[in-house]
Structure 1
């Protein structure tokens, strides 16, 4: 080979390598969501899809691993005092927020104080025992509690542990959710409601050596069939909440991978007890609510809608959870008893019920099955389909009688119950109130011994299952599918997508 030819070949190879490097440097991960999140503010947000988005945007003090162990994130360690009323947390050095501000003890105190004091915060009950936060030194905080609070560390693995930039939060005020600034691997670029949320890699992320994808685009696509079609065609790289009926189809496609894990939470019917402007039958008597429960065959719902893939349930935790109360097994369908309860309650059939249902194939199918079953007991469930984020606004306003809605779940049972069932808790949309149940939930927060806590929860479970503020139906399997181009994905028990470590071939 002549020198010129050799030089040309080298230049051509270098050019190809350069182009390949440029192409690989501009990787974009496209994630299909089942709904559009509500607000991108960790103090105010309350949706599961919002938590999926936050996992890329807002690091927390602690996280969980695949086996539900608590692991460090923005914190390095924690130590609880012997009386359970103080927790000292050592913070990670060298962390920056997306606006370049340093994360330190003052910033951590600001975020926790904000969760507690922001008027619209949904984190207040999660941190209810927290009296104040002391700054011990630039990288150490001390959480001083009013009483011992056993779920505290688990709360700090979720939105209550997310840290926001004090500078940005003060500057943006109520508009912080429009330009959120946290300390996660990706920073906010733009959001177009019902269309897309765009993030780009944060160059100064504390763990940047394990972030390999340049951009993430979240695309809300309510129709699960359309989500899957986009994944198959290459328009998406990962989708959450694959339909149970599509499992075989996904597994049959060599270009796709499917992960499955039983959720920590539940799906159920939240009943409007204390804020029903129309004073319907469900709000007037627990016997009517019990009758509706007895009209439902949970296993039949599972078989008809989910091909038997999900797990029927009747409590805020699944039958596989160590805190599940076996003294209260899943009730069998009993139409005769249901009709008798309606008669005892003095309610004439058919009992009309406004059933609010967020749009989505599985939700709609479940609602239709429930409607058919309940009709045989004397109920007329009037299904009202509604956009997901709007359903939360109507729920808070009391504009429903029954609400088919799920909860993604938390490690500790407190995280699945207190916020929905304690009097005046911010997500108690049905305005349920029972002082005896309140005391049980409060007492369970004071002790860490699991056997003693389970005994308390047994009593509370009996109260709640009698009052029926929520009719628990089933526990979903978290079905996430992604293209084989995506490497490093780890299925997590909370169903959230950890983007650190992911690569696109």
Structure 2
């Protein structure tokens, strides 16, 4: 079935291939998955962030050195107690519907994220107590408690501002035709086929964007994405197989890009989200410890990723200043896994593991299945289309899943959105007061000397409870036509198209 779908995808792309006249003004990008909602308040997929980055400017952004830099906010200031954040906004900026971007629009967008049903941003910014438009271009944000990571959150989807007029008129249908401040505005979407954006000539940085149109094409088969790039049907692709990078770099018609990421991949367990949490792995940290010890992370890295990725066991990669060396990446320990399983006293363990449909994660799932079988744990693999998988996880219709988090600049944002009590992204409904206390201490100050020991406490809690068994940390791998100029990947893995062009 996968083979037939891959051939069909290639055929459809061939039919839709741009002419030579179109090529200079249209950029076709291959994505690993089809995004979920294109409403910044509701989106939860990594691939969705690629689309939103070109469509929706944020209050701040990051640079190559992970510094926060101005975007829609030109200046910011924290109060001494880190409970008030004041933003100065960029002047002469308009939304894609022609309405003005101002302090009232920021107040509207943030309050919408906090209150709208289905908002995925609420838990990321719920520390906000109130938002005041203190001038046409001045916003004062009052927090219930100190939270320095809030500004870093504004470098991602929480900082994407939407048109109050468009959002009010569209209501729950806003995702069908989103309107932001951004270099490219929404044109159309055909689910599982393509998303088309067109350049907004009135954008405040319109001159920095060369292409008239951007077309995002979801292709789950990594090899088919690369084949379409080689044949000229695509111009840029993400998530290249590590085993293909040597070939890409040896091909004079192509170029490859690598960038160290901020996130992780791992197994998330349902510990308290409905009836499916009632299973040995969901109820017992000892069983989850057995699972962690039975997995050979180095083998996964070598076989699936050609040794290019980093084995991991924490929310931060081993090179991060917040990685706790007191908990090194464990080597595979079958005896230890069997002992942990015996201590749980749960008898035979069977686990349903949901994995996405792409070949790489299917291979990793099969490796995990074989490894855990040697420890006496039966794993039943269930493949699911990506957005369906996310929906199942949110509803608690899972025992464990294999997913990735693309990572954020502030370490808090690699933990709290996914494991904080009540967080929208906390699919397993894990909740630990010890973790909450450690994160609260770290959020209260920008001082690394205070934050580092607080995150060490957080890591110790996670190592004991194992709501997520962390497996590896990725490199972001891209490939593009040799004629593509100016593309520079950043550590957050999100494609930015300013300064990108195609040579004749």
TM-score band w.r.t. shorter chain: over 0.9
Q: What's the CA shift for 1:366?
A: 0.6
Q: Displacement of 1:248 after TM fit?
A: 1.1
SS of the residue 2:479 aligns to = strand
Q: Which residue of 1 aligns with 2:17?
A: none
Q: Does structure 2 conserve the Cα–Cα contact (< 8 Å) formed by 1:276 and 1:401?
A: no
CA distance in 1, matches of 2:429, 2:491: 30
Q: Is the 8 A contact 2:248 2:256 kept in 1?
A: yes
SS at the partner of 2:64?
A: coil
Distance across 1 between alignment mates of 2:80 and 2:303 = 52
Tell me if the contact between 2:123 and 2:422 (Cα under 8 Å) persists in the aligned partners.
no
Structure 2 residue 333 is the aligned partner of structure 1 residue 334: yes
Tell me the residue number matched to 1:230: 228
Whether 2:26 is the aligned partner of 1:28: answer: yes
Query: Pick from 213, 216, 225: which aligns with 2:214?
Result: 216
Residue 97 of structure 2, aligned match among 88, 92, 99: 99
User: Does the residue aligned with 2:275 lie in a helix, a strand or coil?
Assistant: coil
Post-superposition offset of 1:275: 2.2
Tell me the residue number matched to 1:309. 308
1:276 Cα deviation after fit: 5.2
User: Deviation per CA, 1:325-361, whole angstroms, max 9, x where unpaired?
Assistant: 1111111211112112211211223x11100001111
Q: What is the CA–CA distance in structure 2 between the aligned matches of 1:23 and 1:193, rounded to whole Å?
A: 27
CA contact (8 A) 1:26 1:215 kept: no
SS in 2 for 1:71: strand
The answer (yes or no) to whether the contact 1:32–1:221 under 8 Å persists in 2 is yes
Kindly state the Cα deviation for residue 43 of structure 1 after the two structures are TM-superposed: 0.7
Equivalent residue runs for 1:191-270 within 5 Å: 191-270=189-268
- DSSP-derived class of the 1:267 partner: strand
Q: Which residue of 2 aligns with 1:410?
A: 408
CA radius of gyration, larger in: 1
* Aligned positions of 1:123-134 closer than 5 A: 123-134=121-132
Q: Identify the range of structure 1 (78-87 vs 185-194) with the bigger mean alpha-carbon deviation.
A: 78-87
SS at match of 2:446: coil
* Residue of structure 1 in register with 2:360 after alignment: 362
Residue range with higher mean Cα deviation, 115-124 or 29-38:
115-124
Cα displacement string for residues 412-438 of structure 1 (whole angstroms, at most 9, x for unaligned residues) = 111110111111111111111122112
2:9 aligned residue: none
Which secondary structure does the structure 2 equivalent of 1:497 belong to? coil
State the distance in 1 between where 2:279 and 2:145 align: 40
The separation in 2 between residues aligned to 1:308 and 1:96, in whole angstroms, is 47
1:200 Cα deviation from its structure 2 partner: 0.4
Query: How many Å apart are 1:26 and its aligned residue?
Result: 6.0
* Aligned partners of 2:24 and 2:502 also within 8 Å: no
**Contact 2:372–2:378 under 8 Å retained in 1:** yes
8 A contact 1:276–1:283 mirrored in 2: no
Who is 1:455 aligned against?
A: 453
Answer whether contact 1:85 1:148 (CA < 8 A) is retained. Answer: yes
Deviation string for 1:274-308 (max 9, x for gaps)? 12524211012111110011101111111111110
CA RMSD in angstroms comes to 1.3
Q: Given the alignment of the two structures, is residue 135 of structure 1 paired with residue 133 of structure 2, yes or no? A: yes
* CA separation of 1:233 and 1:26: change in aligned 2, threshold 3 A: closer
Displacement after TM superposition at 1:79 (Å): 1.2
Residue-by-residue CA offset, 1:63-105 (whole Å, 9 max, x unaligned): 1111111111111111112222211111111111111111011
Q: Residues 276 and 400 of structure 1 are in contact (CA less than 8 Å); yes or no, is this contact kept in structure 2?
A: no
Counting only pairs closer than 5 Å after superposition, residues 487-502 of structure 1 correspond to structure 2 as 487-502=485-500
Give SS of 1:400's match: coil
Out of 478, 481, 489, which is 2:479 matched to?
481
Residue 233 of structure 1 and its aligned partner are, at CA, apart by 0.5
Greater Cα shift, 84-93 or 475-484: 84-93
1:359–1:386 contact (8 Å) kept in structure 2: yes
CA contact (8 A) 2:266 2:471 kept: yes
Higher deviation after alignment, 282-291 or 223-232: 282-291
Q: Offset at 1:382? A: 0.6
Closer, same or farther: CA 368–276 of 1 in aligned 2, 3 Å:
farther
Aligned partners of 2:321, 2:132: CA distance in 1, in Å? 35
Say which SS state the counterpart of residue 354 (structure 1) adopts. strand
- Aligned match of 1:56 in 42, 47, 54? 54
Specify every segment of 5 or more residues in structure 2 that has no aligned partner in the other structure, as ranges.
1-19
Q: CA deviation at 1:25?
A: 9.2
Alpha-carbon contact 2:337-2:375 (below 8 Å) kept: yes
Query: For residues 143-222 of structure 1, what are the structure 2 equivalents within 5 Å?
Result: 143-222=141-220
* TM-score (norm. length: structure 2): 0.94
- Residues 311-334 of structure 1: CA distance to partner in whole angstroms, max 9, x if unpaired? 000001100111111111111211
Match of 1:383 among 381, 406, 410: 381
For structure 1, list consecutive stretches of 5 or more residues without a partner in the other structure: 1-21
Answer yes or no: is the 8 Å Cα contact 2:124–2:423 preserved in 1. Answer: no
Cα 1:342/1:24, change in 2 over 3 Å: closer
- State TM-score, norm by structure 1: 0.94
Contact 1:68 1:411 in 2 (8 A): yes
Corresponding pairs, count: 483
**Partners of 1:83 and 1:134 in 2: CA distance:** 18
Report how far residue 380 of structure 1 moved: 0.8
Tell me the CA shift for residue 24 of structure 1: 7.1
